[in-house]
Chains A and B, each alone.
Chain A
Amino acid sequence: MRKSSFFFTLMSFLFILLGLAGVHATLAQKFGLTRIQKEAVIVKNFGLTDLCLFTEASYTRHISQADLNTPFQDSPMTLEHFPSGSLVAPPKHVHSSLPSGSVVYGIGGGFPGLLKYARNVCFPPSFSVSSGIGCKTEPNQP
């Protein structure tokens, strides 16, 4: 077998796997949407506000409802120590005033920003889901 033929066979195999992943995604979405609709009904019936993702602390369980002084609400001098704290972005007014925060945001935002920019250039969005809505962790400005 020629080396090029082997390479094309391998590429074809990988493309087939990718295609199967696409088929799986399409089929799984049909079942997933039924489940999501059920969840949405529960959210409506009981007036839920948050996903059950981080149950390690009260302020990570309901991140959209937490106090503005979290994590210090638990006691003064309580430093953030829960692993999920590293996933949740700090409020913008915090990172913009600190050099370290700017570094984290700069690095963290660099690649996704580039990705988003490339996406918008190549595939312009038809609508924006969260346009004009700021992050909740900032104080409300009514």
Chain B
Amino acid sequence: MNTWIERHKNILDFTLSSHLRRKGKNAALVCVYTLIVFLLASVLLFTHAIREEGAMVLENAPEMIVQRFIAGRHELIPAHYADLITKIRGVSSVSQRLWGYYYDPISGANFTLMVGKDPDIAQGGIAVGEGISRIRFVFDGDVIEFKTYQGSVIELEVKKTFSADSGLISSDLIIISADDFRRLFGTPKDYATDLSVRVKNVKELSTIALKVSEILPDTRQILKGEILSTYDAVFNWRGGIMLVILFGTVLAFIIFAWDKASGLSEEEKKEIGILKAIGWETSDIIRMKSWEGLVVSLASFLTGLVLAYGHVFFTAFVMFQPVLKGWSVLYPNFKLTPFIDPAEVASLFFLTVVPYTVATIIPSWRAAIVDPDSVMR
């Protein structure tokens, strides 16, 4: 066993010396390789973590939302639609949702206003998200002025502030009473923004949605599964222009790595010839070349992966934040919980390390089986 280890250590010593003789080229390769693994792993870790978190948080989302559409636009829904839906067998409850957006000229941000059943929020009071508290410098007991649809100003007192922990869902949220909401936006009493439907058996959800669309043809139904799959798709990395740009980089790297790994230079061929001439076996040369590939790819993979973990979970995805923040004035401060899929990381390993290592072996095997004399000439 010791002889076997010593033999491999000797081969590795030789390989590393060989790498150091061409240190410029190899350093460039390791840097680019690390960067590629870093970028791919960053996106992979981020998307998995946000998908997991989104799915867990939205597990309690309404089972079905019914929206009314007029001329292709979302319109207020008459309250009596709720009674018609309640009559459908299998529906356990239908509640009206009142929500909308309010543009705040002081901060230049859009707030989401929502009527919620909260015992602390009576008429004249509101609960605000952490982002609003941060951007408007308002805390419990302070007052925020809102301009109503008629141009008059109403003052609402902050009764509660959501903690920064819940920033991912409540950063721009204002919970308001139904009376204040109607006073602010002029929503008629017998209308709601949309309806939230709960059913007795979730397996019947699609059947109930079908019945709703038959009874109320001017509505559309959004099922919880669709809400969850929207978030599954958002960061599924598919439709991203970012990926198309990244694809160019990956392609350039593949060409670079393939050329470096598979195309043996004259110098390398001569080196193999000399090694064979002084008594190295073909298997020794293949071992040496395997180590050569493994040294570069394993070092790059591990470095890239560790850096990506730090980037996503310690710096909150700082490099890609400009894309995520976009033009948002109000952006939630949230730290993702590191949900990691070991299978995805293992797949990334097999797709980055193994092909490069294999690519180094085949040409060296070809060179190693040729007569040393002809290779050296």
Known contacts A83-B327, A142-B210; A42 and B166 CB within 8 A of each other: yes
**Which residues on the A side are within 8 Å of B196 (C-beta)?**
47
Does A52 belong to the interface (CB within 8 Å)?
yes
Chain A interface main SS type:
helix
B338 touches A7 (CB 8 A): no
B237 touches A43 (CB 8 A): no
A130 touches B228 (CB 8 A): yes
**Which residues on the B side are within 8 Å of A42 (C-beta)?**
162, 166, 169-170
Does B367 belong to the interface (CB within 8 Å)?
no
Known contacts A46-B116, A52-B172; A65 and B67 CB within 8 A of each other: yes
Q: In the complex the two chains form, what is the Cα distance from A36 to B53 in whole Å?
A: 7
A134 touches B169 (CB 8 A): no
B167 touches A52 (CB 8 A): yes
Does B274 belong to the interface (CB within 8 Å)?
no
Distance in Å: Cβ of B314 to nearest Cβ of chain A = 9
Distance in Å: Cβ of A28 to nearest Cβ of chain B = 5
Within 8 Å by CB of B213, from A32, A67, A142, lies A142
Within 8 Å by CB of A56, from B169, B221, B231, B327, lies B327
Q: In the complex the two chains form, what is the Cα distance from A39 to B65 in whole Å?
A: 20
Distance in Å: Cβ of B32 to nearest Cβ of chain A = 17
Closest to B69 in A: A67
Known contacts A4-B12, A21-B306; A52 and B62 CB within 8 A of each other: no
Interface residues of B in 5-34 (CB under 8 A from A): 9-10, 12-13, 16-17, 20
Distance in Å: Cβ of A56 to nearest Cβ of chain B = 4
Q: In the complex the two chains form, what is the Cα distance from A4 to B8 in whole Å?
A: 9
**Which residues on the B side are within 8 Å of A78 (C-beta)?**
none
Known contacts A39-B168, A43-B169, A133-B229; A28 and B337 CB within 8 A of each other: yes
B227 touches A136 (CB 8 A): yes
Distance in Å: Cβ of B209 to nearest Cβ of chain A = 5
Does A93 belong to the interface (CB within 8 Å)?
no
B326 touches A83 (CB 8 A): yes
Closest to B337 in A: A32
Does B256 belong to the interface (CB within 8 Å)?
no
Known contacts A32-B337, A108-B237; A122 and B343 CB within 8 A of each other: yes
Q: In the complex the two chains form, what is the Cα distance from A53 to B170 in whole Å?
A: 10
Known contacts A17-B306, A87-B234; A123 and B346 CB within 8 A of each other: yes
Q: In the complex the two chains form, what is the Cα distance from A68 to B220 in whole Å?
A: 11
**Which residues on the B side are within 8 Å of A24 (C-beta)?**
313, 338
Does B86 belong to the interface (CB within 8 Å)?
no
**Which residues on the B side are within 8 Å of A40 (C-beta)?**
56-57, 59-60
**Which residues on the B side are within 8 Å of A88 (C-beta)?**
233-234, 239
Q: Contact string, B63-95, partner A, CB cutoff 8 A, digits 1/0? A: 001010100111000000000000000000001
Closest to B44 in A: A115
Q: In the complex the two chains form, what is the Cα distance from A125 to B237 in whole Å?
A: 20
A140 touches B220 (CB 8 A): yes
Q: Hey, which bits of chain B sit against chain A, CB under 8 A? A: 9-10, 12-13, 16-17, 20, 40, 44, 53-62, 65, 67, 69, 72-74, 95, 97, 101, 109-110, 112, 114, 116-118, 129, 131, 162-163, 165-173, 175, 194, 196, 206, 209-210, 212-213, 220-222, 225-244, 247, 250, 295, 298-299, 302-303, 305-306, 309-310, 313, 322-332, 337-341, 343-344, 346-348, 350-351
A-B contact pairs, 27 of them (CB 8 A): A4-B12, A25-B339, A31-B337, A36-B53, A42-B170, A43-B61, A44-B60, A47-B62, A48-B114, A49-B222, A52-B131, A55-B110, A55-B330, A56-B326, A61-B112, A64-B226, A65-B194, A83-B327, A84-B323, A95-B239, A108-B244, A118-B350, A119-B346, A122-B343, A123-B346, A130-B225, A142-B206
